[in-house]
Chain A
Amino acid sequence: MEQFTFVIKDKNGMHARPAGAFVNEAKKYNSSVTVIKEGKEANGKRLLSLMGLGATCNSILNIQIEGDDEKEAKIAIEKVLKDNLSEG
């Protein structure tokens, strides 16, 4: 299993568009993608589930990826987070 943590820096938090971008990327891989915020888990391939975490600016997310393409998925998902939730 691959995992990493990410701190949301976008002042709007995990809003619809970045959540959408995240889900679209996660769906490209076979691996399961779980996003955990303060013990609450969400399926990274489902938009409503992800938005339901209520992740806001400065929320710490733990992302766990498990499956045959977990390494590639981790790189791609990290990039999506950085591109969409780092600033603004």
Chain B
Amino acid sequence: MKIIKGTGIGTKKASGILRFYRSNKSSLNNKFTTYENEMKRLEKAISGVKKSIESLSKKAKTKIGNEEAKIFEIHMMLLEDEDLFETVTYEISRGECAEKAISEASEKYARMLKALDDEYLSERANDIKDIASQLINELSGGENKEFIHTSPYILVADDLSPSQTVSLDKDKILGFVTFYGTPSSHTSILARAMGIPALVGVGEIDEKYDGKYCLLDSENGEIIISPTENEISIFKEKEKEQNRIAKEHESYLKELINKPAISKNGHRVLIYANIGSEKEAEGALLNGADGIGLLRSEMMYLSSDRYPSEDELYYAYKEAITEMKGRRVIIRTLDIGADKQIPYFNIPKEENPALGYRGVRICLDRIDIFKTQLRAILRASVYGKASIMLPMIVSEKEIIKCREILEECKNELFEENYAFDSKIELGIMIETPASAIMSDVLAKHVDFFSVGTNDLTQYTLAVDRQNPKVSYIGEQNHEAILRLIEIAANAIHKKGGWIGICGELGADLTLTQKFVDMKIDELSVSSPYLLGIRKRVGECL
């Protein structure tokens, strides 16, 4: 038994026979013919490799994804690069055969990139070597005798090029292990996207292990060669469990992901995701979110040691909106105070912060901060569908004031020639009892409501969520909360608007039927709950 550690790519496991692959370098010693002949061979090889890159790129596009296929566009550009070509030509003029000339030239540029003290750029050295080895392979007849084994195996190589990785037959290759390479190499990126478990940068492995059985665990970054019976059974057990969960999730996804959530009596509920930053939008989309029901702005403020600039906010919002491809993204303006404090805001300590200076109250006091956010959201709104949501509203006056400021921002942006969605939706959080009770009045001023059940519970039941002695009161789905939600739902529907729920109650599957009965239009939950709630709505009457 031998354990070898490396950097795992992905989280999957694989077990099988190890097969070593070593690249063949013998053709480098070919004899130089004439300058004209070597140049002719070189050009023929270049056009041959171009063709194969085109087909690999197509393969990557359909099998993996557009982003990954761009790697091959870079290969194509390298192949057309004049510097590289001139260096190869120079080597040939010195009397080297085309193979050797390519090898020398690519080594030169690979060394140059490796020398640039930058992990990403030095990884590109491998892309140049990949091109070179394809050219050399093409020169020596273009036959691909690399992966000839018939039964599935785990591939061991000193390194794999992106083109080799894409060519791997997924039915034959259970996983791969490379001596070199890092998690940011193109090969690792491709392996991740293709879902092949891999271990990179393990260092040299003795060829005597060729043909030996091994366990590859990419999550823990190790392979166990010639494992004991006990190790195999533990590994298999874990693998089974992992596969079961993955399969279940996958079949769920396939079944549900792009199906609208409609109850048996025909009420459609939009299933939205709550996210804490723009980076989570991708995960929401993967789990089939119909939109973003709550994009919190707090992270950008919490992770900074000064007020974020309009541009910084704009880029973050833009990323989320672009990622969601036209699906609605509800951006909540800053909701700090209470349990979320930010040093540079210099908010004095309060006796009772939950009832103090927080949410929209800060924004209406510090209008400069508020405007920065509104302008950033407006500017980002052209990249899809954005909506603005105000937290902690208790009165009509607050909304009217916010609307005024929003109009002011639109006028400024118009003057400054910025594009924005002039009809951007404005909504409020229903998270105070006052806002629910006054919802018929508030509904006149907004396009939508979104119920923040966590704060609504705390303020309605007078229960501190953080206090274990009383928090149980809030955990029972209190009728009082449901009645407030119903009041708000009726009020906004009367005015032709819509209502969502973005608090924890939204994810409570025992309440979904009640929400369908109230004709709640949207439920927003964190990404892992999206599919469960989508399924549940379909079961509701």
Contacts and interface: CB of A to CB of B under 8 A. Distances in A.
Interface of A: 12-17, 20, 23-24, 43, 45-49, 51-52, 54, 56, 86-87
A73 B430 CA distance: 52
Contact of B83 (A12, A14, A16, A49): A49
A47 B116 contact: no
B82 interface: yes
A45 B81 CA distance: 9
B84 A87 contact: no
B82 to A, nearest CB: 6
10 contacts: A13-B120, A16-B124, A20-B73, A20-B74, A45-B82, A47-B77, A48-B83, A52-B116, A54-B121, A56-B118
B315 interface: yes
Contact of B74 (A12, A17, A87): A17
A56 B120 CA distance: 10
Contact of A23 (B70, B77, B121, B124): B77
Interface in B342-398: none
Nearest to B108: A48
Given A48-B109, A51-B124, A54-B121, A16 B82 contact: no
A25 to B, nearest CB: 12
Interface of B: 70, 73-74, 77-78, 81-84, 109, 112-113, 116-118, 120-121, 124, 127-128, 315
Nearest to A42: B83
Given A48-B109, A52-B113, A54-B117, 7 more contacts: A13-B118, A46-B81, A46-B82, A48-B84, A48-B112, A48-B128, A52-B112
Contacts of A24: 77
A52 B74 CA distance: 15
B73 A51 contact: no
B114 to A, nearest CB: 11
Contact of A16 (B74, B112, B117): B74
A48 B78 contact: yes
Nearest to B86: A46
Contacts, number: 49
Contacts of B128: 48
A26 B70 CA distance: 19
Nearest to B75: A16
A17 B121 contact: no
Contacts of B113: 51-52
A37 to B, nearest CB: 11
A23 B112 CA distance: 19
Question: What 7 A-B pairs come out closest when comparing CB atoms?
Answer: A54-B116, A16-B74, A48-B83, A87-B315, A47-B81, A47-B77, A48-B81
B484 to A, nearest CB: 41
A86 B319 CA distance: 13
Nearest to B79: A47
Contacts of A86: 315
A16 B116 contact: no
A17 B128 CA distance: 14
Contacts of A12: 120
A20 B113 CA distance: 15
A7 B435 CA distance: 47
B77 A20 contact: yes
A47 B77 CA distance: 7
Contacts of A54: 116-118, 121
A46 B118 contact: no
A24 B70 CA distance: 14
A14 B118 CA distance: 10
Contacts of A20: 73-74, 77
B82 A51 contact: no
Contacts of A51: 113, 121, 124
A15 B120 contact: yes
A49 B78 CA distance: 11
Contacts of B78: 47-48
Nearest to B128: A48
A46 B83 contact: yes
Nearest to B316: A87
A56 B70 CA distance: 21
A80 to B, nearest CB: 14
A87 to B, nearest CB: 5
Nearest to B113: A51
Contacts of B70: 17
Nearest to B112: A52
Contacts of A45: 82
Contacts of B83: 43, 46, 48-49
A84 B55 CA distance: 26
Nearest to A52: B112
Contacts of B117: 54
Contacts of A47: 74, 77-78, 81
Nearest to A14: B121
Contacts of B73: 20
- The CB with the most chain A CB atoms within 10 A, among B73, B116, B117, B128, is that of B116
A41 to B, nearest CB: 13
A45 B127 CA distance: 19
A40 to B, nearest CB: 11
A87 B380 CA distance: 15
A84 B217 CA distance: 36
Nearest to A53: B116
A19 B500 CA distance: 44
A15 to B, nearest CB: 5
Nearest to A11: B120
B5 to A, nearest CB: 27
Contacts of B315: 86-87
A14 B74 CA distance: 13
A79 B241 CA distance: 50
